[in-house]
Structures are given as C-alpha cells and as structure tokens.
Structure 1
C-alpha cells in the first residue's frame, strides 16, 4: 500500500499513468514533460483533468524526486503525484514498485478507469493517452504500445534488434491471416510491455494485479491477463520511445540485457535461431484448433489436435482431459504455448531465413492453405461477453 495519502482523484479523471523511478534524475524530465504535453487528435492540448501521473521514487540516492516535483510545479494543471519510499531489500524491485502504484490506481479510479504503465527512461508519443483512450473506447480491455528505440549513437545491437522487430511483425501478420481477431486486427504490432501497457481497472483486479517480481514483471502481468482471456490490443497509433542505455539495474532478463546480448552476438558473428515458417503455421493452427476444442469440450476429429498431441508426447485422451479441465482458453493456450516454446526443436531458422520465408508467404497470401486450416471465425467468442464461467459456455 502507498504509504502516503494522495489528493483525491478528480471527478473527470479516468486514466492513471504509473512510473517506477529509482535513481532516474538524468532521464525523468523528458518522460514527465511528454506526459504533461499530451495532445488530442485535432492537435489541441488534451484535457489534463482526464488523467493523472503517479511517480514512485523508490530507494533513490539521487535527485529523482526533486526533478519530478519541479516538473509538477511547472505543469500545475496536470496532477503529477510524487511519492518517495524506501523499500526493504527483500521488496526493493520493479515489480513491487509497479504493484504499489497500480494497486493504488485501482483503488482510486472509478469503474471503467484505465491504469497505464511506462518507464522513467521512456518518452511517450504526443497522442499516447488519446490513442490509448480511443482503443478502450472501441472495446479493448488492455492496450500494448509500440516500443521504439531511437538511434542514439549505439549501433552494436541494431542489426539483430531490427531483425527481431521485422520477424515479430511478420509473425503477427501471419497470425492475423490464420487466426484473425476483430478486437486486434491488422495492422497491428506485437508488443505489450512495461514502457507502454494499459489495462482497465476491472481487468487489473480480475487478473490478480501486478506480480511483485524482480524482473519480467510486465511479461508475467501480460500472462496473468491472458489467463483470464484478456487479449491486449496492439494499436500502432499507441507509441513510445525508450532508451537503449546500458544498465544492470534489474536482476534477471531485461530489455537492456537483450540489447547487450545482441551486441555481443554481432561482435562474435553468432546468429540467433527462431521459429521457422512451418513451425509458426503449426503454432497458430494449433491455437485455432485448441479454441474450437475448448468451446466444444471435445477434440472431435480436428487433425491439428492430433498432431499437437503427438508433438507434446500425449495421447489424444490426455490432451482432451487437459482441454476440458482448463478454466479459460487463454490459460490453456498459454500453458501449451509455453511448453512448446521451451522445446528447442521449433527454433530451426536464423533470422535471415525465417524473415524471408515469412515475407514470401504473407505476401502471396496462400489462400488455399489458409482456407484449409482456418475454421469459421465464430470460433472466437465475442470479447464483449465477459464474466461467464467455464460451464456457462455451450
């Protein structure tokens, strides 16, 4: 729980931005200035009473809090709350910092409120809040923003980083072709992480909230949303620009460490391996078949289910029991996808080869192949129908 009493939320406020900040005095001003200067789509200043900003200066030994307060004084129309805490060593991590703020936002905001997160070294696009609000107005329950890394002198990681972005974008297109989503249509991106992720107050509470982890807390939170069938919308108009700084501030796997590893791979002339085209097709075919089996409560005669069972080294009966016992489709698909991703057999192509395969396939459309593997679109349940129990789905 936040250890200070914040001013009451404004009656018109429906959007709370949360920012964890530990020794971020050198980066925080541009972050807050971008939030204080948000625009509507007609180019006018976004009504500042619609949103507030919460900065948690945790375990700082620099002027982070002072910088935040100076920006708050310079932009008095925008409610910028600055909270200072010294967390015990066992709790001093980004997951706990995010959880404290997001739990507080869930307590403060009214029904229908939106809780957003970004980072202290990230500058949001001028239309970031407006674009996020628009996505929620169209029915989203979570929205991930496109995370861009401006070139700031470092070039050692950029080759593999750009390959990674290209590959993941093409995979997102392939998924749209095989398993189209009305809620998250093409064009879309593929990211829903800490620098830009927003969630409805109701979905945040239903998911159990932010996991208090020392690293990958944002990914774990996205998995928690997936387990309750909340799929993030990936609107390209929601964009942020994040730092490519070298940092060892967080234990575990981080974006900074990924950039460092890519830079090392370039230097050593090593190449990452990823899922090739056929394995991507298999993954999305299995997703479609699993959804049908989940809602029909049986595997029936779906060929993809039998090939999935064989890949997982399960009998069809064992896989059917797994499907029937799942409480949500999201939890079912997440568990099976993570099991597939832990195997090394699916990673069989370098970026160069995988990108070429995906580009050729998606450009051609391969409609006969797609028609053969895609069941009726009615297999996707209406995302507006929420809260039904597993047994209520016929």
Structure 2
C-alpha cells in the first residue's frame, strides 16, 4: 500500500493537521502557505506555531511546486510545514488518493481529539481559519465545513449563475433551519463542506472509513461517508476560505472549474439551471423530519407525510417501512431517500430566479411571524406550525 515517507515527529501541543494536495501549483502555492502561516486568534495575536502543522503533498508535478514550498519553509522556520514530493502511479494518481495519504498520516500523528483539516493549493484561508475551526470543535463539533468564497476576477462569464447558486442554497439552508432546526448546527449557518475548507475529528475520520481515493468530487464523497455514520457538519460562518475561479482541466471528472464552464455556456445560450422549487423544498424537509422520527421509532405509522413520500417515489408503504427498519443510521436512510428524489426529474421544477424569489418571500414572511411570536426566546416553531400542515 502507498504511504507517505516518514515525517518529523509532531509537536507535543499539536491539535490540528492541515492537508494540502498540490499538482503543478507553483503559481498559487506561496500565497496559500502565506495565509496558513499568518494565522491569528480573535484578538489578532499570532497562534502558537505548535498548535497546527501543514502537510503539503506535491504529487505528480512537472513544475516547481515542491521547490517553492521548500523555499517558503526555509523563509519561515517556525512554520511547521512538511513538504512531501511523490509520483503516484497509474490509477492512484488522483486527488482523492493524494488527500487520503495525507489524512491517513494526520490521523496517525494526531492525539485523541485531534482535528484533520483540508484546504486546496489555490485557496487562501482567512486569518482566523484555524482559530475559528478549533473553537467550533471546542464547542462540540465533530466535523466543520467552512464558508468558501470566490472573489471576483477577470473571469466573469459564470458569475451571475454562481451568485444565484449561492443565494438559492443559502435560502434553502434558512428554510431547512426553520423546518428542521438542528442544535448541533444552528442558524446562522451556511451550506458548504467542500475541499477548500473542511475539518473532521480523528475518531470520525477513522469511523467513516477515511477519505475515498476517488478521481473527482472526493470532498463530496467524504461528506457522504460522514453523513452515513450520522456525523453532522457544523457550518460556522466565521470559518472562511477564498478560492480561485481559474479554468483548469487537472481533475478527470466533475470539478468546480467545470461547473463554472457549464454556467458560462448556459448564460451564453440563455439557459437557466432548474432546481427544487419552494414547495418541493418544504416537502423535502418535512419528509426529513418525519423520516428521522420514523427511524428512531422504527415505524412509519402515525406519520402522514411518509405515505405521501412512498407514493411520490412509486414505492409501497411496506418497502418504505423495510428501509426504515433496516437502515443502519438515520443519515444513511435520508441520504438514500434524497438520492431517489434527486433522480426524480419532476422534483426539480423551478429555474433559479423563480426558486430564489419564492424562497425569499416565504422565509422572510415566516421569519417575521416567528420573530413576533410570544414563545420564549430561543424556542423553535415546529415544522407543522411553519407550513400549516401536520407531519
């Protein structure tokens, strides 16, 4: 099995290991490392260098990525940076394997309760990124997704749909927090847990089987693995990273840069993405609440939303009951049902402008009603009260 070469021993105070895959990133890597080196606490004081370290894997490079990183390390000897240069063979030459090698090594190096983090070689994390991530774990997080921001650049063709996508998903998240409030991930929160900013506890990393060594969307595959063992992400808005919108073909398969290219083509052709409209979003989160209750009670009886769900999926109630009873975790159950819904073409029924307009109106109205409620501060309206229907 492939493994990283032996690294220097970890510092006694080490709490977080940041992993950075880098393939031909000589143009970007110094800025990425500079952002990690300049980490401060909430008062602007530099963090203790022994709290975190960075493992950078320069894999299959044909440029000076490793040399640039080593020069940076020499310039800042107090920065705990481990530069590893490897050529991954054949089918192992992919971003998923690069991440897995580093994260597996991080799991071995960190103490119990340690944190494995990831970012990208074209990303600059916020100056309090490490501090904010550690704080979220100190408050009980088991996994943390950071807010990923794409600053404006000369590449503008994709930007209108990108901003619509961010707006839509943010409104979706607000709606979900109203219908299905989660104490572990309270509002205000964002919706992202992707490669430029993601962190997980060592125990959770090992429990989910680790990073899948896949060629693309490895961050999404990893997040799905965590969901399937009921590890919820905390989406703390204070954990932020700024990533590049460059046009790149270095990933074989689905990638962020390819999504930007597709959005550019859609704008040029006058097309719009079609997404879940307001009513389907409401229905999805109602079903999620009902499925959670059914999972813990191991029965679908007494939950009127679930016969409707079975009918929508052309599934018998007996089959849905079987899925509820046999699911190993709630996360696995909900993930499987949501994937069935996402493959149902009719569930995506609204172009971005319409979906955004309806979600904005509904959440603004519901939030106003909620704020004017005489309920004690901090209480949550149940889903039934929010949408005027029972589960």
| TM-score of the two chains, using structure 1 as the length reference | 0.93
Structure 1 residue 73, shift from structure 2 partner? 1.1
**Partner of 2:9: helix, strand, or coil?**
coil
The answer to whether the Cα contact below 8 Å between 1:179 and 1:374 also exists between their aligned partners in 2 is no
Structure 1 residue 372, shift from structure 2 partner? 5.5
Matches within 5 A, 1:1-394: 1-365=2-366, 371=382, 373=384
Q: Provide the C-alpha distance between the structure 1 equivalents of 2:51 and 2:44, rounded to a whole number of angstroms.
A: 16
Q: Provide the C-alpha distance between the structure 2 equivalents of 1:357 and 1:313, rounded to a whole number of angstroms.
A: 28
Q: For 1:184-242, what per-residue CA distance to the aligned partner results, in whole angstroms no more than 9, with x for missing partners? A: 01110000010000000000000000000000100000000000000110000000000
Q: Provide the C-alpha distance between the structure 1 equivalents of 2:230 and 2:41, rounded to a whole number of angstroms.
A: 30
Query: What is the root-mean-square deviation of aligned Cα atoms in Å?
Result: 1.3
Task: Give the structure 2 partner of residue 388 of structure 1.
Answer: none
The answer to whether the Cα contact below 8 Å between 2:4 and 2:102 also exists between their aligned partners in 1 is no
Query: Which stretch shifts more, 164-173 or 316-325?
Result: 316-325
**Partner of 1:90: helix, strand, or coil?**
helix
Q: Provide the C-alpha distance between the structure 1 equivalents of 2:98 and 2:78, rounded to a whole number of angstroms.
A: 26
Q: For 1:358-392, what per-residue CA distance to the aligned partner results, in whole angstroms no more than 9, with x for missing partners? A: 00000011669x646279xxxxxxxxxxxxxxxxx
The answer to whether the Cα contact below 8 Å between 2:178 and 2:383 also exists between their aligned partners in 1 is no
Q: For 1:281-333, what per-residue CA distance to the aligned partner results, in whole angstroms no more than 9, with x for missing partners? A: 00000000000000011112111111111111111111011000001000000
Q: Provide the C-alpha distance between the structure 1 equivalents of 2:359 and 2:317, rounded to a whole number of angstroms.
A: 30
Change beyond 3 A, Cα 1:75–1:2: farther
Structure 1 residue 2, shift from structure 2 partner? 3.0
Where does the alignment leave 5 or more consecutive residues of structure 1 unmatched? 376-394
Q: Provide the C-alpha distance between the structure 1 equivalents of 2:277 and 2:98, rounded to a whole number of angstroms.
A: 38
Structure 1 residue 339, shift from structure 2 partner? 1.0
Structure 1 residue 270, shift from structure 2 partner? 0.8
Q: Provide the C-alpha distance between the structure 1 equivalents of 2:302 and 2:342, rounded to a whole number of angstroms.
A: 25
The answer to whether the Cα contact below 8 Å between 2:286 and 2:383 also exists between their aligned partners in 1 is no
The answer to whether the Cα contact below 8 Å between 2:179 and 2:383 also exists between their aligned partners in 1 is no
Q: Provide the C-alpha distance between the structure 1 equivalents of 2:348 and 2:319, rounded to a whole number of angstroms.
A: 26
**Partner of 2:19: helix, strand, or coil?**
strand
The answer to whether the Cα contact below 8 Å between 1:285 and 1:374 also exists between their aligned partners in 2 is no
Q: Provide the C-alpha distance between the structure 2 equivalents of 1:344 and 1:130, rounded to a whole number of angstroms.
A: 43
Task: Give the structure 2 partner of residue 382 of structure 1.
Answer: none
Moved over 4 A (4+): none
The answer to whether the Cα contact below 8 Å between 1:58 and 1:87 also exists between their aligned partners in 2 is yes
Query: Which stretch shifts more, 155-164 or 311-320?
Result: 311-320
Task: Give the structure 2 partner of residue 390 of structure 1.
Answer: none
Task: Give the structure 1 partner of residue 378 of structure 2.
Answer: none
Query: Which stretch shifts more, 225-234 or 67-76?
Result: 67-76
Structure 1 residue 3, shift from structure 2 partner? 3.6
The answer to whether the Cα contact below 8 Å between 1:288 and 1:374 also exists between their aligned partners in 2 is no
The answer to whether the Cα contact below 8 Å between 1:178 and 1:374 also exists between their aligned partners in 2 is no
Q: How many residues align?
A: 374
